[in-house]
Amino acid sequence: MLQPWQTGKVIRIVDESASTKRFWIEMQETENFDFKPGQFVTLDLPIHEQKNKRWRSYSIASWPDGTNVIELVIVLLEGGLGTHYLFNSIQEGSLLTLRGPQGVFVLPEVIEKDLFFICTGTGVAPFRAMVHDILIRQKPHKNIYLIFGCRKFCDGLYGDELKQLEKELPSFHYIPTFSREEPSNGDYRTGYVHSIYEEICSNEKRQGVDSPYPANFFLCGWKNMIDEAKQRILAMGYEKRDIHQELYG
């Protein structure tokens, strides 16, 4: 069922990088905004006369904590009417019209396989929410691999926080990879995300067994990355039902 529109008040804005901002939004009509990690909200922005051209959807970057505050992480898009409005016209104290939660890009109730969270840019948002929720709720799980691709160090999001989560959740593996940085001694990877999950799956595959080892793949980010990832994952022998996606742009 589609949720009704409601009012949110922007209570905090932080520059996460040169082109990315974090927005904390307090819902004005409820004391507890309940959602599942991985879901999104849709904003109705005053940028066009037609309703469907005013709507912009963003994954919730925070996790359910019993409050009425959510966090969104948004990148400024060149020529993007929605993000330019949010970056230039919205301040702390501004009101937004939004609807949600929406979406089925969520974890299974019972996690029976290893999880591969593969993302680019602000596509890390739903996975940040999922990992925190697994830790807080002490949800039984297998290995979790967060493979986060971006161009430069300055494009990385939540890096220190995700490294800390590795220490608190031993089965969680944070693997940032940068396509335009020089190779390191192991603190990060260079290149693109695809070679990393292929390498892990190859290493984990049981000897003497033709089928791939049990895993679920969650993809979030730009269309080109998702299209290539789906092809490669299917080529490794996985089924379409093993792949879940949230598309940006």
Residues 168-225 pLDDT 10s: 998 999 998 875 556 666 665 666 688 888 888 887 665 555 668 889 999 998 888 8
Determine the average pLDDT of the residues in 6-22.
94
User: What class is the 6-102 domain?
Assistant: mainly beta
Phi, psi (degrees; rounded to nearest 5) at 213: -75, 155
Verify cis geometry, omega within 30 degrees of 0, for the bond prior to 101: yes
Name which residue leads in pLDDT, 1 or 209: 1
97: closest CA among 60, 58, 46? 46
- Mark 37-48 as b/e (b = at least 16 C-beta within 10 Å): bbbbbbbebebe
Predicted pLDDT at 215? 93
Determine the average pLDDT of the residues in 122-151.
92
What pLDDT digit, counting tens, does each position of 69-105 carry? 999 999 999 888 999 999 999 999 999 999 999 999 9
Residues 235 and 141: their CA atoms lie apart, in Å, by: 26
Predicted pLDDT at 246? 85
Three-class secondary structure of residue 172 per DSSP: strand
Three-class secondary structure of residue 241 per DSSP: helix
Three-class secondary structure of residue 52 per DSSP: helix
Predicted pLDDT at 183? 61
What pLDDT digit, counting tens, does each position of 28-70 carry? 999 999 999 999 999 999 999 888 889 999 999 999 999 999 9
Predicted pLDDT at 129? 97
Domain ranges across the chain: 6-102, 114-248
Indicate the CATH number for domain 114-248. 3.40.50.80
Kindly state the DSSP code that residue 35 receives in the 8-state scheme.
-
Residues 127 and 248: their CA atoms lie apart, in Å, by: 14
Structure tokens at 127: 């996975």
Predicted pLDDT at 216? 95
pLDDT value at 147 more than 60: yes
Predicted pLDDT at 194? 86
Kindly state the DSSP code that residue 122 receives in the 8-state scheme.
G
**What's the pTM?**
0.91
pLDDT band at 25; cut points 50, 70, 90? very high
